[in-house]
Amino acid sequence: MAETNLRCLRVASSLSSIGIGKSDVVSVLSQHSGDVRAPVRRSDVRRDPQQHQHSSRRSHRLRSSPPLQSKLLFVDDVSSRELAVEAIATMTAPPILVFIADKEEERGADVAGHANKFSYTYDELIERGDPGFKWIRPGSEWDPVVLNYTSGTTSAPKGVVHCHRGLFVMSLDSLIDWTVPKNPVYLWTLPIFHANGWTFPWGIAAVGGTNVCLRKFDAPLIYRLIRDHGVTHMCGAPVVLNMLSASQEYSQPLDHTVNVLTAGAPPHVAVLLRAESVGFNISHGYGLTETGGLNVTCAWKPQWNRLPASDQARLKARQGVRTVGFTEIDAVDPGTGLSVERNGENVGEIVMRGSSIMLGYLKDPVGTESVLKSGWFFKGDVGVIHSDGYLEIKVRSKDIIITGGENVSSVEVEAVMYTNPVVGEVAVVARPDEFWGETPCAFVSLKPGLGMKPTEKEMIEYCRKRMPRFMVPKTVSFRNELPKTSTGKVMKFVLREIAKKMGQTSLSTGPVLSINK
């Protein structure tokens, strides 16, 4: 910790001495993220201390935001360097480049080809820096601290601006909610740029933890890092759990419990059961880039330990209750705006409020006002609240398939299909149909190495035995892998386009064969 602190002070001192200060934007280009991300350090937004009300304060700050332009760009790995140098060649005011050399790489060797008087290596910044540098606090807790881009599962990416206050509260809150002890060993299976790694870049530092980083997702590598470093904590979307428990290393259970926090989609019961049998202790939460991290988590009740494993997994798949530092979450009728009854049946739109809600979308007042209304954040997710107050997300409205007047939740169909031991990943979307309106269409990747290739008919038969007939997919399309965003979310909008291009399903109620390999 002391060493990390000194390295941070040295880099901060160097950045300051080369002219980076308050109001300047600093960005990071990293293979780990696959995209340009722009953490904003020290406010690119004018402060206005007279504004008091949170929501008006938020929107005001964004309206007064000047155009975003990076003054410095960190370039993380070798393969991103050409991209960075090409990108800035066309700029009239290009940013200063800072190249981060890999340990294995000859220091500076590859960098030299791109270096000029406006570029540095990260090691140079550390060497030149002053460890006694007096770092500068933000002028206000409402100053922007970072700009994230949403990964765009359902729409174009948006720039999400958070302030110091929001991420401070969220960081403390997440540590408490997940009961992170002092000196954890944290493995970065969750990309740091994904909603700020759910605030654990700050949180792990706050409890004196060790960060174990990796540049690519690879199940055998992850099992090796867990063993070699005694990893205690890691985060990731359910797909991470799925990939780990589908790995060949799975046959060797872990020699210690690894706490895994998952979010981003409701984890399927079968995936939870598989991962826990390996030795992962799964916690589940819900949040969005715009809400700063996981604001809702499935707080475990001790009495649930007495239930059968499958009931436990079903309960664990609930998103749960607000974390203690968050203000409020509710499900409301979109028409009346009133809370829906908390009976586990009545579906409402999820609305949230609390300190960690974003200031707003960058240079997008219309987009900001469409989600931040009268102090509440609306993102269009829908769900029920059970009588004990636990939220359960149903599906985003786009994930409801309306077939013959029946609403089918794609998540429920997926959950059943995941119980099939040959299924690696599955995503269900709507396919247009003249007769039924829409029909469920499943895209499936099989687990590698099993050597079993079921037919579409067999998959459909599997579903028929386990769900009402109207929910059964009429189409099953096999894929080597499903298209994903850089954060590992399945891009359902891509699959919807593919399903649309398949044309209409036949008027017969039998399945249409459509095997794409």
Q: What are the tokens at 113?
A: 């080809």
Q: What are the tokens at 159?
A: 């720039």
Closer to a second copy at the Cβ: 54 or 71? 54
Nearest in space to 429 (alpha carbons), one of 498, 382, 483, 508: 498
Interface with a second copy in residues 177-216 (CB under 8 A): 179, 181-183, 206-208
Nearest in space to 61 (alpha carbons), one of 155, 198, 162, 200: 162
Q: What are the tokens at 397?
A: 């409205």
List 388, 406, 458, 481, residue binding a second copy (CB under 8 A): 388
For residue 367, give Cα distances in angstroms to 75, 243, 478, 499.
30, 35, 37, 29
Closer to a second copy at the Cβ: 2 or 109? 2
Closer to a second copy at the Cβ: 179 or 251? 179
- Asked whether the beta carbons of 144 and 160 are under 8 A apart, the reply is no
* Least separation in angstroms between CB 179 and a second copy: 5
For residue 293, give Cα distances in angstroms to 119, 189, 198, 261, 414.
34, 16, 4, 12, 25
Q: What are phi and psi of 501, to 5 degrees?
A: -70, -20
Under rule CB under 8 A, how many of the chain's residues touch a second copy? Answer: 23
List 8, 36, 78, 172, residue binding a second copy (CB under 8 A): 172
Give the integer Cα–Cα distance in Å for 130 and 126: 8
* Least separation in angstroms between CB 127 and a second copy: 23
Mask for 48-67, x = binds a second copy (CB under 8 A): -xx-x---------------
* Least separation in angstroms between CB 196 and a second copy: 17
173 lines the binding site for a second copy (CB under 8 A): yes
Closer to a second copy at the Cβ: 116 or 179? 179
Interface with a second copy in residues 466-485 (CB under 8 A): none
* Least separation in angstroms between CB 9 and a second copy: 13
Residues 6+ apart with CB under 8 A from 407: 400, 401
Interface with a second copy in residues 288-347 (CB under 8 A): 299-300, 302, 324-325
- Asked whether the beta carbons of 323 and 297 are under 8 A apart, the reply is yes
* Least separation in angstroms between CB 140 and a second copy: 9
Q: Could you give the 3-state DSSP secondary structure of residue 334?
A: coil
For residue 447, give Cα distances in angstroms to 452, 476, 481.
9, 16, 10
Could you tell me which stretch among 15-23, 45-53, 337-345, 472-480 binds a second copy (CB under 8 A)?
45-53
Contact positions toward a second copy, by CB under 8 A? 2, 49-50, 52, 168-169, 172-173, 175-176, 179, 181-183, 206-208, 299-300, 302, 324-325, 388
